[in-house]
Amino acid sequence: MLPDRFDDDKPHEECGVFGVWNVPDAAALTALGLHALQHRGQEATGIVSFDGQKFHQHRGLGLVADTFGDARVISSLQGPTAVGHNRYATTGETILRNVQPLYADFEFGGLAVSHNGNLTNAMALKRALVRRGCLFQSTTDSEVFVHLIAISLYSTVVDRLIDALKQVVGAYSLVCLSNDALMGVRDPHGVRPLILGRIGGNERNNGGWVLASETCALDIVGAEFVRDVEPGEIVIINDKGVHSIKPFSPASDRFCVFEYIYFARPDSVVEGMPVYEARKRIGEALARESAVPADVVVPVPDSGVPSAMGYAEASGLPFELGIIRNHYVGRTFIEPTDQIRNLGVKLKHSANRAVLKGKRVILVDDSIVRGTTSRKIVEMVRQAGAAEVHMRISSPPTTHSCFYGIDTPERGKLLAARHDVAEMAKLIGADTLAFISIDGLYEALGKAGGRGAQPAYCDACFTGDYPISLSDMTNEAERQLSLLPGQ
Ligand code: AMP
């Protein structure tokens, strides 16, 4: 059984995808790209390469450096094209056969698929496919793509892919590798990110292309950003260059706002906006909305750092590192027993007494999910001698679970689903607690939303407005949605 993800206090994110076309050392570059995307998934990783004749594959549980640190593994993954995946299980168990890229041999050749997101009709599709005789090898929702492509009556890979995509519902960014193309896809609402980059090239060689979840994966391999893959777009990269098709009916853009708040790496640029800048601006807006007399602004590292900087700038208060994070806390180290697991936050964070003693402290974090982290951090700051502790959160209250690929506990476990802000403040032990408002969030990001406007982002975790139907989850979602009277 998996440990409770929110107890081990590690960053829990969705998945990272990466692909590269026409470069020497494609597998090595893919390992580097996956390393830069490690924050999006730490449970497992894999690479599939193609040398023009044969596909080569390697997958492992754990971090990219553990699985691909051995040069012999990388050199066995031959060829100028490769795709990779970092997994944080949002569906399915952590077993090797669930580790992506998924690979299968078809009539048309081989196909490797890396998926970031979550399909909301995968269970229904799987039942129908199993009735038709499809033999599933894994328990991940992503495998339905493989079977839908296999049974499609179309002949080309791209037509089969489109046929499959038209049957799935949910959030997905895909990077696929066939015998003759690297393909990238974003779902019609563009919930999960995917970007296109250019790499290498000289007078004799046109150079290559990169597809990746985030721009931070371009920087590490020395690639240049070209553009975001658009919502509902399929890009097909082959020796002729990049070809784009948009086979879906138009849908509203609903990129996941939580990527800006927490998931994406701060040095990434998403849909034209640097994540770091977005977080700082949210912090500034938070300070304007919920100022309180205080002496110092302290981030909960690392995710609270940029918004705390914005808060400090806007409030004119000093920014100090009052909590120090130990980066060497391994998951296995804190997993074994409940007693050790409860120490988690102390292993990871410690109070910097010199900064906190006698001070009125504003603590800034990006979100409160179950409240465990905040409660422990507030207690730690008080024990270090803080005179007052004011918690400020750079997202609106997380009142609803995500069904689009972000790991959130069921609704009943979300603190904000069961308590108002005053009750939450008491429960986490803070003198005051404030969240940025949904209007303030949209204003900070410079996009429409809040104040009754059609939202530019998917903000379902804060509003319950789910832009993509939840057919699989209907029963579960309804059960969760009905947990609160009147909601
Ligand atoms: P909790 O302790 O359950 O309230 O979790 C809140 C903390 O977990 C915050 O410090 C966040 O940085 C972090 N966090 C936010 N969203 C997630 C997520 N989906 N998975 C894991 N951690 C998260």
CA neighbor of 114 nearest in space, from 199, 45, 11:
45
Which of left, alpha, beta for 313 (phi over 0: left; psi -120 to 50: alpha)? alpha
Q: How far apart are CA 438 and CA 401, in angstroms?
A: 17
Domains belonging to the chain, first-starting first, are 15-251 (3.60.20.10), 277-451+473-482 (3.40.50.2020)
Distance CA 155, CA 4 (A): 44
Quick: pLDDT tens for 365-413. Answer: 999 999 999 999 999 999 999 999 999 999 999 999 999 988 888 899 9
Instruction: Tell me, in angstroms, the distance from the centre of ligand 1 to residue 432's CA.
Output: 20
Query: Does ligand 1 come within 6 angstroms of the Cβ of 372?
Result: yes
Q: Which residues of 242-278 are buried (b: 16+ CB within 10 A; e: fewer)?
A: beeeebbeeeebbbbbbbbbbbbbbebbbbeebbbbb
Residue 330 has pLDDT above 60, yes or no: no
Mean per-residue pLDDT for 70-97?
A: 88
Is the CB–ligand 1 distance for residue 407 below 6 Å?
Answer: yes
The pLDDT, as a whole number, for residue 482 is 46
Q: Measure CA 62 to chain center.
A: 17
For ligand 1, say whether the CB of 370 is within 6 Å of any of its atoms: yes
Q: For the chain, give the number of residues.
A: 487
pLDDT band at 345 (very low <50, low <70, confident <90, very high): low
Residue 458 a catalytic site member: no
Pairwise CA distance, residues 383 & 379, whole Å: 6
**What pLDDT digit, counting tens, does each position of 150-208 carry?**
999 999 999 999 999 999 999 999 999 999 999 999 999 999 999 999 999 766 677 89
Q: What is the DSSP letter of 105?
A: E
What is the pLDDT, as a whole number, of residue 203?
64
How far is 381 from 389, CA to CA, in rounded Å? 8
For 434-479, how does the pLDDT look when each residue is reduced to its tens digit (9 = 90+)? 999 999 999 999 998 887 889 999 999 999 999 999 987 665 555 4
112 three-class SS:
strand
- Give the position, in ligand 1's atom list, of the atom nearest the Cα of 368: 4
Q: How far apart are CA 13 and CA 408, in angstroms?
A: 10
Stated pTM of the model: 0.92
Q: Report how far ligand 1's centroid is from the alpha carbon of 11 (Å).
A: 7
**pLDDT (0 to 100) of residue 228:** 98
Nearest to 444 by CA among 256, 220, 257: 257
The pLDDT of residue 449 is 85
Give residue-wise pLDDT tens across range 10-40.
333 379 999 999 999 999 999 999 999 999 9
Spatial distance between the Cα atoms of 365 and 145, rounded to a whole number of angstroms: 37
Average pLDDT value for residue range 47-69:
96
* Spatial separation of the C-alpha atoms in residues 372 and 76, rounded to whole Å: 44
The amino acid occupying position 226 is: V
Closest residue by Cα to residue 55 from 92, 88, 73, 80:
80
- Which atom of ligand 1 lies nearest, measured to the CA of 375? 2
| Cα 105 to averaged position of ligand 1 atoms, centre (Å) | 39
Q: How confident is the model at residue 255 (pLDDT cuts 50, 70, 90)?
A: very high
pLDDT at 338 over 70: no
| Residue indicated by tokens 């005179």 | 387
* pLDDT, tens only, 192-244: 999 999 999 766 677 899 999 999 999 999 999 999 999 999 999 999 999 99
Is the preceding peptide bond at 101 cis, omega within 30 degrees of 0? yes
| Ligand 1 in reach of 143 Cβ (< 6 A) | no
Determine how β-strand 349-351 pairs with β-strand 323-325.
antiparallel
Task: Report the distance separating Cα 186 and Cα 154, nearest Å.
Answer: 21
75/100 Cα distance (integer angstroms): 19
Pocket lining: 14 vs ligand 1, CB cutoff 6 Å: no
Task: Concatenate the DSSP letters of all residues of 31-100 into one string.
Answer: HHHHHHTGGG--SEEEEEEE-SS-EEEEEEES-HHHHH-SHHHHHHS-SSEEEEEEE--SSS-S-GGGPS
CA distances in angstroms from 22 to 51, 86, 208, listed in the order given: 10, 22, 5
8 A C-beta contact, residue 272 and residue 353: no
pLDDT tens, position by position, 403-440: 998 888 889 999 999 999 999 999 999 999 999 999 99
pLDDT band at 483 (very low <50, low <70, confident <90, very high): very low
Question: DSSP code of 99?
Answer: P
pLDDT tens digit sequence for 281-319: 999 999 999 999 999 999 999 989 999 999 999 999 999
Rounded distance between C-alpha atoms, residue 22 and residue 207, angstroms:
7
